[in-house]
């Protein structure tokens, strides 16, 4: 269950790394596999029941022995790799912390979007959100009412970002003119994870959809 959790898979997804599958792969017959599992279950359950009639200190020793027994058994058959599990737990914690930071940045930007009433304020808020969500650059081409064109550009003040760490995307933005749409080109700092870049792009897309230019009053 822990392995599947760290692999971002359903706990009920079948695979060939289950304990009894690993025993079969080691060459044991099905009957012998069942006997081994029954024996381990009997020993663990017996020790567990013995814990109920022992003192507190002795109970902890027995619990520790049961844990070592199960860990050793799973380690022997290769169903659980302790080093991989520790690395997976660290990665899981890092991802969870990163997601929480991204959500906080999204909520901070949302407060600014709610106060934006003019296009200038809206664009400054987009730049603020892009900075908070660790974007590298944003370009928004505009066509004025008189037909002239201009380009709004925001760029993160970070010279250490490498070109191979940048993900480029086009985000459609609803304009105030009927049938008109703008294309915001964004460059996202991947931070070593395309999954993180995708999450941050989704959060920015939500902000642009919920607080679009079409809703501005000025």
The reported pLDDT for the residue numbered 206 is: 92
The reported pLDDT for the residue numbered 81 is: 64
Task: State the span(s) of the chain assigned CATH 3.30.1140.
Answer: 117-215
Burial class of 70 by CB neighbour count within 10 A (0 to 12, 13 to 18, 19+): middle
Q: Rg of the chain's alpha carbons, rounded to an integer?
A: 28
Structure tokens at 45: 């359950």
The reported pLDDT for the residue numbered 195 is: 86
Share of the chain above pLDDT 70, in %: 84
Question: Mean pLDDT, to the nearest integer, of 59-88?
Answer: 72
Q: Could you read off the pLDDT of 178-209 as tens digits, one per residue? A: 556 788 999 998 877 888 899 999 999 999 98
Q: Could you read off the pLDDT of 107-134 as tens digits, one per residue? A: 999 999 999 888 899 999 999 999 999 8
CATH 3.30.530, applies to 117-215:
no
Q: How far is CA 100 from CA 72, 173, 196, 199, in A?
A: 35, 26, 11, 11
2-7 contact pairs (CB < 8 A, 24+): 2/80, 2/85, 3/79, 3/80, 3/85, 3/88, 5/92, 6/85, 6/88, 6/89, 6/91, 6/92, 7/88
Average pLDDT of the chain, as a whole number: 81
Where does the pLDDT of residue 103 fall: very low under 50, low under 70, confident under 90, or very high at 90 and above? very high
């Amino acid at each position: 269950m822990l392995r599947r959790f760290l692999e971002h898979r359903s706990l009920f997804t079948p695979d060939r790394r289950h304990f009894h599958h690993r025993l079969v792969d080691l060459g044991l017959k099905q009957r012998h596999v069942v006997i081994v599992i029954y024996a381990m279950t009997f020993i663990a359950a017996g020790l567990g029941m013995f814990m109920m009639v022992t003192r507190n200190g002795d109970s902890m020793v027995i619990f520790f022995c049961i844990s070592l027994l199960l860990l050793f058994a799973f380690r022997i058959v290769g169903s659980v790799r302790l080093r991989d599990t520790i690395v997976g737990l660290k990665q899981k914690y890092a991802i969870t912390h990163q997601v929480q930071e991204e959500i906080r940045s999204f909520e901070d930007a949302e407060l600014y979007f709610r106060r934006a009433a003019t296009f200038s304020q809206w664009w400054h808020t987009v730049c603020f959100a892009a900075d908070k969500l660790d974007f590298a650059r944003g370009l928004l081409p505009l066509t004025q009412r008189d037909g002239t064109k201009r380009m709004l550009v925001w760029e993160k003040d970070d010279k250490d970002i490498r070109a191979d760490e940048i993900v480029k995307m086009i985000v459609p933005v609803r304009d105030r003119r009927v049938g008109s749409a703008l294309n915001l080109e964004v460059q996202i700092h991947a931070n070593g994870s395309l999954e993180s870049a995708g999450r941050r792009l989704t959060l920015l897309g939500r902000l642009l959809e919920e607080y679009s230019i079409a809703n501005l009053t000025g």
